[in-house]
C-alpha cells in the first residue's frame, strides 16, 4: 500500500513538473522589444500636392525608455502601399531568394540580419561587409544551427559591460586572430527550453574594415529556431560597403525628423515627425497608419493614427 502511494505521489510530482515546464515554454516572453507606447497625432492631415509634407507626429506615452534608432524599424501604411521611414536610406525589397536577410535600421547605418542556419550538413556563409550570402571562398562568418565560426584572416574581440550603441572606436591591436574554435555566443536555458544569447558583443576586423556585431536571438519573427539574428554596425570610421550597394539599399520615401536632432537615440521625451522624402505618399488629407518595431518586435501604437 505504501509502495502504491509513493508511486502515485511520484507520478503526480512528475506530471506537475512537466505541466509547469510546458507552461513556461508556451508562455515564454522574449526579452527583446520594448514596453513603450507610441502616441500618434496629425496623421495625414497636412498632406498636399508637394512631396515634402509632414504627415505624422509621434511621441512616447509616460514612463517610456530611450530607444536606439539602430534597432528601430518604422513605416507608414496608406491605401497606396507601405513606405519605410528612416534618416535617409532603407533596404530594398524583393530580389533573389537568399539565406541571409539584412534589414537596415531607421538610423540608415545599422543592419539587423537574420541567417537561415537550418541546414545540419551545410554552413550558411555571411559576407558581413556586403551584408549578403556568400560561399566558403569569401565570407566573414559561417553558421549551422547554433554553430558560428569566423573565417581565417578575421580578427576579433568579445566586449562585455559596454553599450553597443555608444561604442564607436576600438583599438585594433587588441584583436585576436584565433578562429579555429566556434563562438560561445549563447547559453541554453533548460527552464524555458530556449537558446539565449550571452551578454556582450563582438568586434570584427576584416580586410582593414572594422565592425561591431551583437547576437539578438536564435529565432526569427515566426519564432522558428536556427535563425540567428544579429545587429551589425561599422566602427572606427569604416565605410559599410553594403550601404553603397544599390541592390541592397535605396533612399527612403519617408524621412524621420527628431526634436533635438538626436539621430542616435529616440529620447523618451522627444517628438518625432515623419515627412515625405521626395515621394508623393499622400496628395491630400488621407488615411495613414504607423507601424514600428524595436529589436524585431512590434511596438504598441495608439492615438489618432488615421483621418478619412
**Surface-to-core class of residue 74, CB atoms within 10 Å of its CB (0-12 exposed, 13-18 middle, 19+ buried):** buried
- Tens-digit pLDDT string for the chain (308 aa): 566 565 555 555 444 444 443 444 444 466 889 999 999 988 778 788 899 999 999 999 999 999 999 999 999 999 889 999 999 999 998 767 899 999 999 999 999 999 999 999 999 999 999 999 999 999 999 999 999 999 999 999 999 999 998 899 999 999 999 999 999 999 999 988 999 999 999 999 999 999 999 999 999 989 999 999 999 999 999 999 999 999 999 999 999 999 988 989 999 999 999 999 999 999 888 888 999 999 999 999 998 644 33
Q: What is the pLDDT of residue 96?
A: 73
> Domain limits of the chain?
1-30, 37-88+252-303, 90-244
- The strand pair at 254-258 and 81-86 is best described as parallel
In this structure, what are the phi and psi dihedrals at residue 287, rounded to the nearest 5 degrees? Answer: -80, 125
Q: What angle do CA 98, 101, 105 make, to 5 degrees?
A: 160
- pLDDT, position 25: 43
* pLDDT (0 to 100) of residue 304: 61
CB 44 within 8 A of CB 276: no
d(CA 68, CA 66): 7
Judged on CB neighbours under 10 Å (0-12, 13-18, 19+), 17 is exposed
CATH topology of domain 37-88+252-303: Immunoglobulin-like (2.60.40)
Residue 220 · residue 248 · CB < 8 Å: no
**Contact yes or no for 129/164 (Cβ under 8 A):** no
How much is the pLDDT for 18?
45
Amino acid at each position: 500500500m505504501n509502495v502504491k502511494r509513493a508511486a502515485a505521489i511520484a507520478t503526480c510530482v512528475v506530471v506537475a513538473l512537466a505541466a509547469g515546464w510546458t507552461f513556461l515554454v508556451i508562455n515564454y516572453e522574449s526579452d527583446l522589444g520594448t514596453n513603450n507606447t507610441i502616441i500618434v497625432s496629425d496623421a495625414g492631415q497636412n498632406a498636399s500636392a508637394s512631396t515634402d509634407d509632414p504627415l505624422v507626429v509621434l511621441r512616447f506615452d509616460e514612463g517610456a525608455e530611450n530607444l536606439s534608432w539602430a534597432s528601430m524599424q518604422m513605416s507608414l501604411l496608406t491605401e497606396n502601399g507601405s513606405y519605410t521611414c528612416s534618416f535617409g536610406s532603407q533596404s530594398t525589397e524583393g530580389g533573389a531568394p537568399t539565406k541571409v536577410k539584412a534589414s537596415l535600421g531607421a538610423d540608415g547605418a545599422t543592419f539587423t540580419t537574420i541567417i537561415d542556419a537550418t541546414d545540419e550538413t551545410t554552413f550558411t556563409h555571411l559576407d558581413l561587409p556586403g551584408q549578403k550570402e556568400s560561399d566558403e571562398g569569401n565570407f566573414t562568418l559561417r553558421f549551422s544551427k547554433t554553430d558560428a565560426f569566423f573565417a581565417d584572416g578575421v580578427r576579433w574581440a568579445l566586449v562585455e559591460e559596454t553599450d553597443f550603441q555608444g561604442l564607436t572606436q576600438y583599438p585594433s591591436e587588441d584583436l585576436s586572430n584565433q578562429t579555429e574554435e566556434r563562438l560561445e555566443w549563447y547559453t541554453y536555458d533548460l527552464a524555458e527550453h530556449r537558446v539565449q544569447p550571452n551578454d556582450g558583443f563582438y568586434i570584427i576586423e576584416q580586410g582593414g574594415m572594422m565592425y561591431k556585431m551583437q547576437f539578438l536571438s536564435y529565432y526569427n519573427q515566426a519564432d522558428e529556431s536556427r535563425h540567428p539574428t544579429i545587429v551589425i554596425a561599422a566602427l572606427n570610421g569604416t565605410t559599410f560597403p553594403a550601404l553603397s550597394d544599390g541592390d541592397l539599399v535605396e533612399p527612403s520615401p519617408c524621412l524621420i525628423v527628431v526634436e533635438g536632432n538626436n539621430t542616435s537615440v529616440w529620447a523618451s521625451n522627444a517628438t518625432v515627425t515623419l515627412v515625405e522624402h521626395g515621394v508623393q505618399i499622400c496628395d491630400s488629407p488621407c488615411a495613414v497608419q504607423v507601424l514600428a518595431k524595436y529589436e524585431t518586435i512590434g511596438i504598441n501604437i495608439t492615438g489618432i493614427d488615421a483621418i478619412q
